[in-house]
Each structure stands twice: as structure tokens, then as C-alpha cells.
């Protein structure tokens, strides 16, 4: 079985906690703001990072802090250890409702990405081979959900899912980002790519006026097979994820 195929629920809890820790160490999620989820195989429920009395931040999430939630956002199997769903659980429930192709959802508040929504500055396709996955996000177009409120009810979740549309990443003005994928790791890697795109745009603006790469080169990358759209067990995705697990000390190398 591929590393990234849906596995036993215990494995999913571990993988979800690992992904929380990676995004925490990389600075995409500070403090307790941010949550990741995954569909429970053969069920309408999802697993999600919970809030609770003993939490120590996204960066330190443990498998015990992952709870199962029903499609309406309520805890599925009774409250355990005082854990409860995040207020914005409806980001997850409504994206899954709208997108049968999505298996995992990431919601975090990466500061540099949020700055672009505050200043209303576009994320430009300013590099090519430096990071094709991040470039592809810019080429494909990144939608923005224009409100800055907490997504604290199904109606707001529905609107956010509508803003995301058929894309896999969405900016949330003055708030954060939502990323979707066919596996926990794919969704997390997309969030990392979006953050990298923003970091490079930000730094380029410190030096001068960022210049998008040529139309010819954009066309070349636009027609390039999308590694992220290959089967979820693509070696490239697995290798990239192994790198982040080791970089962040979650896996030993």
C-alpha cells in the first residue's frame, strides 16, 4: 500500500498530527490557530485537530488531539478529554460537501500570505524552475474569499467553499488560507507551496518591482504535467513529504 492511501484510522490520526507539526515548525501555523482534517474512509465523518484544555499549539499536536466529527460539525462519538471541534470546523465540512474529490483540508493563518490579502497585492508568477509547484498555483489563479470573519457556521462555510470553487487553494482576506488535496500530505504541501510563493513575492518586492516570467515560459509550465494531480502515491510527493518530516525532526534521518 502506498504511504498516502487512506489507511487505518489510527494511522490517519498520526499522519494528521504529523502534518500539523510540520506546518507549525515551518511557521505556517502559530499558537493554536489552524487545523487540518481528513475524511474517515467509508464514512461521512472526518478527523480534525481539536481544541481542548491541554492543547499546546498546532506545532505540538498529538494523535490524541485528533477527534472524529460528523458532517454537521458536531463531535461524532461523544466528548473525550474535553476536546471539541475548532470554531471553524465548517471550513472543512462544507468543502467536503462541495468537493467529492477532496480527501483532506488544511486551514492556517500564514502571516506573509495574509499580508498580500491585506495590501491587495497579487501573487505573481515570478519564478519558474525554482519551484514549479508553487508557480503552478500562480498560473492557475488563486481565488480570494473576501470576508475576514471566522467561518463559524455552515452558511459561511458554504460561501468559502464556493470561493474555492474547483481550485485547491484559496486566500482568505485578512485571515488565512484554505488548501485541499487528495491526501493529508498533498493538502499540506499545497499550503507550503502557497506560502513559498508569497514569501518569494514579498522578498522580491523588497528589492524592486517583481517581474513575472515570460509568457512563453508560463505556457511551458502551464502545459507541464501537474505532479500534484498525478496519483496520490506519486514518488515526488512522497519524497517531498519525507523531506519535511525529517527537516522538522518528526522522522529521524
Nearer to Zn ion, 176 or 210 (CB): 176
Nearer to Zn ion, 85 or 176 (CB): 176
Element containing residue 105 per DSSP (H, E):
strand 104-108
End-to-end CA distance of the chain: 22
Closest CA to 183 of 67, 98, 102, 100: 102
Q: How far is the CB of 107 from Zn ion (least distance, A)?
A: 6
Residue with cell 499545497: 190
Binding mask 126-165 for Zn ion (x = CB under 5 A): ----------------------------------------
Q: How far is the CB of 48 from Zn ion (least distance, A)?
A: 13
Catalytic residue numbers?
88
Within the chain, residue ranges assigned H as helices are 9-25, 89-98, 111-119, 132-140, 154-164, 184-207, 215-222, 235-247
Closest residue to Zn ion using C-beta atoms: 176
Map residue 196 onto helix, strand or coil.
Answer: helix
Binding segment toward Zn ion, per CB under 5 A, in 43-51, 56-64, 153-161, 169-177: 169-177
β pairing state of 66-69 and 169-172: unpaired
Contacting Zn ion within 6-35 (CB under 5 A): none
β pairing state of 35-39 and 46-49: antiparallel
Nearer to Zn ion, 110 or 176 (CB): 176
139, HSE (Cβ side, Cα atoms, 13 Å): 21
Nearer to Zn ion, 39 or 175 (CB): 175
Binding mask 172-201 for Zn ion (x = CB under 5 A): ----x-------------------------
| Total site size for Zn ion, rule CB under 5 A | 1
Q: Which residues of this protein are in contact with Zn ion, per CB under 5 A?
A: 176
Amino acid at each position: 500500500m502506498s504511504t498516502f492511501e487512506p489507511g487505518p484510522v489510527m494511522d490517519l490520526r498520526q499522519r494528521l498530527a504529523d502534518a500539523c507539526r510540520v506546518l507549525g515548525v515551518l511557521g505556517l501555523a502559530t499558537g493554536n490557530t489552524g487545523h487540518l482534517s481528513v475524511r474517515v474512509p467509508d464514512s461521512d465523518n472526518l478527523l480534525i485537530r481539536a481544541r481542548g484544555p491541554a492543547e499546546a499549539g498546532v506545532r505540538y499536536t498529538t494523535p490524541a488531539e485528533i477527534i472524529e466529527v460528523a458532517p454537521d460539525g458536531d463531535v461524532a462519538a461523544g466528548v473525550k478529554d474535553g476536546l471539541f471541534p475548532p470554531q471553524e470546523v465548517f471550513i472543512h465540512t462544507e468543502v467536503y460537501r462541495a468537493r467529492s474529490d477532496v480527501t483532506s483540508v488544511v486551514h492556517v493563518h500564514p502571516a506573509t500570505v495574509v499580508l498580500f490579502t491585506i495590501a491587495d497585492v497579487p501573487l505573481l508568477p515570478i519564478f519558474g524552475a525554482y519551484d514549479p509547484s508553487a508557480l503552478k498555483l500562480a498560473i492557475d489563479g488563486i481565488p480570494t474569499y473576501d470576508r475576514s470573519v471566522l467561518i463559524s457556521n455552515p452558511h459561511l462555510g458554504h460561501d468559502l467553499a464556493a470561493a474555492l470553487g474547483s481550485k485547491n487553494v484559496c486566500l482568505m482576506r485578512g485571515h488565512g488560507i484554505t488548501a485541499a488535496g487528495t491526501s493529508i500530505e498533498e493538502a499540506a504541501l499545497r499550503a507550503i507551496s502557497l506560502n513559498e510563493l508569497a514569501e518569494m513575492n514579498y522578498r522580491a518586492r523588497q528589492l524592486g518591482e517583481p517581474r513575472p516570467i515570460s509568457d512563453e515560459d508560463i505556457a511551458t509550465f502551464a502545459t507541464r504535467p501537474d505532479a500534484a494531480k498525478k496519483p496520490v502515491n506519486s514518488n515526488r510527493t512522497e519524497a517531498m513529504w519525507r523531506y519535511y518530516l525529517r527537516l522538522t525532526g518528526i522522522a529521524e534521518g
